[in-house]
Amino acid sequence: MAYFIRKEDCVNCGACDPECPVDCITEQGDVRFIDPDACTSCGACAEVCPTDCIEAD
């Protein structure tokens, strides 16, 4: 299981990035992307997302 970002709702604000303890959120084009192999599903990123576009798989 991993968290993922709904691309259509991500505004690339960057708020999620520094919250990730395993640093698996990167910029991909004009949105952020979560590496599903590295994500530990802690949920920290989802709590700060202003558009609520980060969901558990």
26 touches ligand SF4 by CB under 6 A: no
User: Out of 18, 22, 26, 28, which residue is the one contacting ligand SF4 (CB under 6 A)?
Assistant: 22
How far the first Cα of the chain sits from its last, in Å, is 6
40 touches ligand SF4 by CB under 6 A: yes
- Residue 56: left if φ>0, alpha if ψ -120 to 50, beta else—which one? beta
- Tell me, what amino acid is at 37? D
Which positions touch ligand SF4 (CB under 6 A)? 3, 5, 10-16, 19-20, 22, 24-25, 32, 34, 39-45, 48-51, 53-54
